[in-house]
Amino acid sequence: MKMPINRLLLAAICWTGLGLAEAAEPVFRAGADRTDITPELGIVIVGNFVTPASTHVHDPLYARTLVLDDGTTRLAFVVVDNVGLPRFVCDAAKELIREKTGLPPANVLISSTHTHSAGSARDRVGGGTDEIRDGFEQAAPVLGPYQRFLATRMADSVRNALQRLEPAKVGWGTGSAPAHVFNRRWHVKTEELRRNPFGGTDAVRMNPPAANQEELLRPAGPTDPEIVFLSVQAANGRPLALLANYSLHYVGGTVAGALSADYFGVFAERLRELVGGGDAAAAPFVGIMANGTSGDVNNIDFRARPVPAAPYEKMRRVGEAVAAEVHRAYGNVVHVPWVKLDARLEEVRLATRRPSAELVAYAQSRLAPAAGKAWHPNEKLYARHVLRAAAGPAEVDVPVQAIRVGDLGIAALPIEVFAETGLELKAKAPWAKAFTISIANGAFGYMPTPAQHQLGGYESWLGTNRVESEASVKMTDRVLKLWQEMK
């Protein structure tokens, strides 16, 4: 009796020890998208001590997305033009993404660029800067209108990128732009320049007055001038997307009331022009810049006298220079047809900063009607931070995410990471190359190293910094553990 042809084929596959899924080579695919998230005018602009209402749009704000698929594992990177998306907004977006696409939260990385000229996503109505403190609420907040809009648009961007999935090649490269990064924490001479809002003095000062050159002693930490980028092309070599990472806080120099994506947006648009993949109707090229470990780094050269610049001039200069350097390095990238993908996400429990009884009493005294002459211009703001911290939880769980794209490792931390920590992760990573995306999957304030905590300064102040002084050690250890598990 003759065996039907399909049974003969199945028997042959089984005899050779191959499974049906193993009979064909896996296909690597990629897709990208850019979705507008610009809010209605009137929303407050956050990032500074004053929060003006927005009056016009200088350039649109976007959620830029890259999706990768190795045939078994699928990852999504979503980079949003915002100063810092609270965790509950990221979680809401991830739940929508899971419902609509099946992608699990561990495989979705959502980060904020940290532009200081975007609308607030921190409270329910889009006004104020700290009424809801990300991750420190006793109950899950109800999303406000702009928060719901952001979560929906992030999910839409992932769905759009998935719709554009096509066979692709992937590679990574590096460049360097040291001329645009400077440590902003300085040892300075005069005690008055080192006052803090808690009635004391620190060892260092953030952003010392540029006019007082004689006050400057030395920077308090390093910078990381490296640009690491992940590049994907269609199977025929057409550029699809590029995700870059640079450790520069933001640039600024905007007009009051204007919404802008800062140099992150300039970079994305200029790179699209340089790469030349922007006019393909089916899959336009998407350039993306994610914020690196820039918690103590900005674009001000404190050793040089300030040079006046027209609005937006400086951010254009920086964004275009970084794009040019990436484009230079892009020509050396070897794109390969397949790499292994992996992702892990775990919670790390951290103690929160708790004020002493003496500090609470001092805060109350500075908020009293007869407080007297101010020791520090922002002491009332930080007095309110102190009282909120005293009433808040003693611990908080923060998400730590680790990703593998072939021999490239990516860490994602929900906090403003110092350059020193980013350099340590790069040095200890078990990969050929690695980088860290800050303000990812949440925004829990600043994370100085233990040694930087001892120096004090703005980034260590209670309210600016919300978690324990050992947080950088614990999160670094967890990232390295997760990376090692992927090997």
pLDDT tens digits along 332-356: 999 999 999 999 999 999 999 999 9
CA distances from 271 to 240, 266, 268 (A): 12, 8, 5
Q: What is the mean pLDDT of residues 67-72?
A: 98
pLDDT tier for residue 417 given thresholds of 50, 70 and 90: very high
What is the pLDDT at residue 11? 35
Please state whether beta strands 226-234 and 166-176 pair in parallel, antiparallel, or not at all (unpaired).
antiparallel
What are the residues whose beta carbons fall under 8 Å from the beta carbon of 417, sequence distance 6 or more? 292, 293, 294, 295, 436, 438, 447, 472
What is the pLDDT at residue 279? 52
pLDDT tens digits along 182-213: 999 999 999 999 999 999 999 999 999 876 78
| Higher per-residue pLDDT: 128 or 36 | 36
pTM above 0.85, yes or no: yes
What are the residues whose beta carbons fall under 8 Å from the beta carbon of 178, sequence distance 6 or more? 223, 225
Q: What is the mean pLDDT of residues 90-101?
A: 98
- Distance CA(109)–CA(106), nearest Å, equals 8
Alpha helices in 142-256 (DSSP H): 145-163
Cβ–Cβ < 8 Å for 68, 78: no
Whether residue 18 is predicted with pLDDT greater than 50 in this model: the reply is no
